[in-house]
Amino acid sequence: MPALRFFPHEVADGRSARWRGWWTERDGYRTDLSKMLTAWDYASDTTVGVSVDLSEDVLLASTGLDSVEELEILAVADCLLAQQRFIGIKSLRGHQPGATVDVSVRLPPGQVAGTVRLSAHLVLATNKPAQKYRVAFLRGSRILSSDSVTLRLEGDAGRFPTEPVKFSELGLGNAPWTVLTMYSELSDSFLGGVRLLINMEHAVGRLALDPKTSSRVSGLLHADVVRLLIADLASRPEEDTDDPSFEEGSVGQVLGSMCQGALGTNLPTAVRLCRDDPVSFERDLHDRLDPLSAVVEP
C-alpha cells in the first residue's frame, strides 16, 4: 500500500510541474538515463540530472506563495548500499516564466555502489515570516516531489571500489595505481575483496583522480586493472574459474564480465592465456582496449 504523507502546509498541484525525465552528462553531452548506467565503474565520476517545466500560475495558486523565486529544486541521490546521500541544488531566483529548469547531482567516484534512488523536490529556499494560514514558511518545506527512479550502477565497465592514498605511507613504491586482492574464493563479494588504490603522490595518479583530466589516462588505468586482476588470478592455480554459476556481485561474476567486455572472451580462457602465454595476453589486451590512444590524440 502506498504511503500517505500529510504536510502542515499547502503543497503544489500536480499540474504545477512536468518532470521531463532524468539524464546523464559526460564531457558536456547529455543522454537520456536508462535504468542501468552503462560504462560505469567505481572510478567513474558521474553527473545525473532532471529537467522540469513549471506552470507558475498553477504553482502559486495552489500553494499560496508569493513568488516562484522563493523556491529551489533539489536533485537527490540515495545509495542504500553505501549509506550515502548526495544533493544538487538549483535556485529559482531570477527564474524566467516558461523556462525549463535543469538540476543535477554528482555521484562521486568510489562512494556509490549497486543502485541509486533518484528523486527531485521543489522546496522553500529560505525561512520567511509566517503570514498566511497553511502557507509554507520554513526553509526546506517540501512543495512538490517527482516520482523516484531507481538507477542500477552495474554497467558494462569493470566495477572497482577505489581509494586515493599516499603510496609512500604504505610502502607501495612510486606506481600511479595498483590493486589489492583480499578475497579467498571467487564466490566472495567483489566489493569486499578488491580495492583499486590510486597514488595521490604520483602525477599520473593525480590525473586519474581529477575529473577534468581522467580521460587522458583512463585507458591505461583500465588496461592495468584488467592485467593485474587476471594475473593475480592466474597465480592461484587452485581457483576453479570454470564455474558458470557465480552470483551477481561475486569476484568470479565481476571478473567474468570484465573479461567479456575487455577481451571478448570468458574468464577461464583469459586466465589460461595469461598463465600460459603472457605475451599474447598483453597483445590481445592492447588490441581490444587500445590503452595508448589518448597519447596520440590531437
Do residues 67 and 193 both lie within one domain? Answer: no
Do residues 20 and 146 both lie within one domain? Answer: yes
- The DSSP code for 147 is P
The verdict on residue 127 lying in a domain is: yes
Q: Which of 89, 123, 152 is the last residue of a domain?
A: 152
The verdict on residue 148 lying in a domain is: yes
Residues 6+ apart with CB under 8 A from 63: 9, 10, 11, 12, 16, 135, 136, 143
On whether the CB atoms of residues 143 and 12 are closer than 8 A, the answer is: yes
Q: What percent of the chain has pLDDT over 90?
A: 36
The verdict on residue 2 lying in a domain is: no
**pLDDT at residue 208, rounded to an integer:** 84
Do residues 192 and 74 both lie within one domain? Answer: no
257 vs 159, which has greater pLDDT? 257
Rounded-to-integer distance, Cα 210 and Cα 44, Å: 11
- Name the residue among 123, 55, 58, 56 with its Cα closest to residue 88: 123
The verdict on residue 185 lying in a domain is: yes
Do residues 279 and 223 both lie within one domain? Answer: yes
- Find residue 76's DSSP bridge partners: 87, 119
Q: In the chain, what's the furthest Cα-to-Cα distance?
A: 79
Do residues 184 and 141 both lie within one domain? Answer: no
- Coil, helix or strand for 165? strand
Segment 246-293, tens digit of pLDDT: 887 788 888 888 888 788 889 999 999 999 999 999 999 999 888 888
The boundaries of the domain holding residue 232 are: 162-292
Segment 78-115, tens digit of pLDDT: 987 667 899 999 999 999 999 999 999 998 876 777 78
Do residues 206 and 97 both lie within one domain? Answer: no
The verdict on residue 35 lying in a domain is: yes
**pLDDT at residue 158, rounded to an integer:** 45
On whether the CB atoms of residues 200 and 165 are closer than 8 A, the answer is: yes
Q: Which of 152, 186, 201 is the last residue of a domain?
A: 152
Do residues 177 and 141 both lie within one domain? Answer: no
Rounded-to-integer distance, Cα 14 and Cα 237, Å: 61
The verdict on residue 5 lying in a domain is: no
**pLDDT at residue 157, rounded to an integer:** 46
Do residues 262 and 188 both lie within one domain? Answer: yes
Buried b (16+ CB within 10 A) or exposed e, 174-197: eebbbbebebeebebebbebbbbb
Rounded-to-integer distance, Cα 163 and Cα 165, Å: 6
- Name the residue among 121, 124, 118 with its Cα closest to residue 101: 121
Q: Which of 152, 186, 217 is the last residue of a domain?
A: 152
The verdict on residue 288 lying in a domain is: yes
In the chain, the number of structural domains is 2
Do residues 86 and 108 both lie within one domain? Answer: yes
Q: Is the pLDDT of residue 3 over 60?
A: no
